[in-house]
Amino acid sequence: MLTEKWLVGSSRWTVKNIFEIFVLWRLFLLLIALVVPVFFELQDNFIGGGRQLYIQNPLFWGHVNFDGEHYLAIAQRSYRDLEYFYFPGYPLLVKSITQLISSSVTVYAVVGLLISHLSFFLTLVGFYKLVKLDFKENVAKWSLIALLVFPTSFYFASFYTESIFLMLVIWSFYFARKKMYLFSGLLGAFASATRLVGVVLLPALFWDKTKLFKKVSLVVVPTGLIIYILYLNKVTGDPLEFLHSVEIFGSQRSSTLILLPQVFYRYIFKILPSLDYSYFPVILTTFLEFSVASVFSALTVLTFFRLRPSYAIYTTLAFLIPTFSGSFSSLPRYVLVLFPAFILFGRWLSTCRKFSRIVFIAGSALLLTVAFGLFFRGFWIS
């Protein structure tokens, strides 16, 4: 049972306990998926598998909506024009496994979702162990809870890169903390082949007191990105095609550098005042973007005072890089991989008053319910 005593008690969590809370989170998402058709109509422009497959099995294909469709297509038949924005690590892994089994699109989707679910469970195990290196039991527990109830945590159960990327980041940091730099570097290399911000592991992991020569194996971290750049140069003639094509994913995004204060200015004086306040999904998405940007800007600053320098470096760079496109679009999803911010949430939840804790958890869970419900029915969230 998920009770207050179980969450904040002094007993250690085992892998079994972490699996139990993972299953509870997944059942919560399933419940949302079952009831949401009553509240939201289906938008079928970007649903997983296309309308026919989605209608046949929405509980499955609803996890492959939007970017999931792109990753699934890349896994099936490699890249086509306008898809180079999506890094190859995740779809390549899906393809490598699925080719041994079947060429069916359904099997591709099953393999991808299994990878996402397994990766997220391993993320939770690694996150718990990593937090325990610096903090008490309660902080580790509440850090996991904060991550699970975050409004966009449903992407961890989707055909997206969030699960596998965060798993690679967490365990890369963990092995670095244990002075196992070869393992750390190899995981970092795969992370940089999975998401652009994976490359920030290099400066973050180098920042500790260990002598430089002992960390030399960390130089392999950018290898994944470098290989992708070489591939793009060969097939498109533009080694940075993943940056130059960013504008096609939204009119707010730009391939030129735009600084964070400029993005806030855009939202405060241009985007928010011009919203269509009669259309709830757009209102929710836009205010979620702005709120997440504001909260995580503050948390990023706090990491320099409350957490290890390596965590602060990782959080700062991984937070800022997506905003340089000039938009907070997708930021509520991108911040899922900023694990140090969730450690700060965990520290606060472990010491705050019970009423504050209930309000935080209930509010986050409510937003998760609405956001996942909309996503599941084909509305853009992040």
Nearest to 166 by CA among 128, 130, 119: 119
pLDDT band at 54 (very low <50, low <70, confident <90, very high): very high
- DSSP label at 160? S
Q: How far apart are CA 235 and CA 217, in angstroms?
A: 30
Q: How far apart are CA 324 and CA 129, in angstroms?
A: 32
Alpha carbon distances (Å) from 163 to 38, 269, 321: 29, 35, 19
pLDDT band at 12 (very low <50, low <70, confident <90, very high): confident
Q: Is 277 exposed, middle or buried (0-12, 13-18, 19+ CB in 10 A)?
A: exposed
pLDDT for the residue numbered 210: 64
Q: What is the DSSP string of 286-320?
A: HHHHHHHHHHHHHHHHHHHHHS-HHHHHHHHHHHH
- pLDDT higher than 50, residue 382: yes
pLDDT for the residue numbered 300: 98
* DSSP-derived 3-state class of residue 379: coil
Q: How far apart are CA 367 and CA 364, in angstroms?
A: 5
pLDDT for the residue numbered 151: 98
- DSSP label at 153? G
Tens of pLDDT, residue by residue over 73-130, are 999 999 988 889 999 999 999 999 999 998 899 999 999 999 999 999 999 999 999 9
- DSSP label at 48? T
Retrieve residue 120's tokens: 């997220």
pLDDT for the residue numbered 256: 74
Contacts of 96 (CB under 8 A, 6+ apart): none
- pLDDT higher than 70, residue 6: no
Report, as an integer, the average pLDDT of 239-254: 70
- DSSP label at 212? G
CB 224 within 8 A of CB 67: no
CB 198 within 8 A of CB 192: yes
pLDDT for the residue numbered 8: 47
Report, as an integer, the average pLDDT of 256-281: 91
Helices (H) and strands (E) in the chain, counts: 19, 0
pLDDT for the residue numbered 235: 93
Q: What is the DSSP string of 261-292?
A: HHHHHHIIIIITTT--TT-HHHHHHHHHHHHH
Look up tokens 């855009």; give the residue: 266
For the chain, which residues make up each domain, given as ranges?
Answer: 4-376
pLDDT for the residue numbered 45: 85
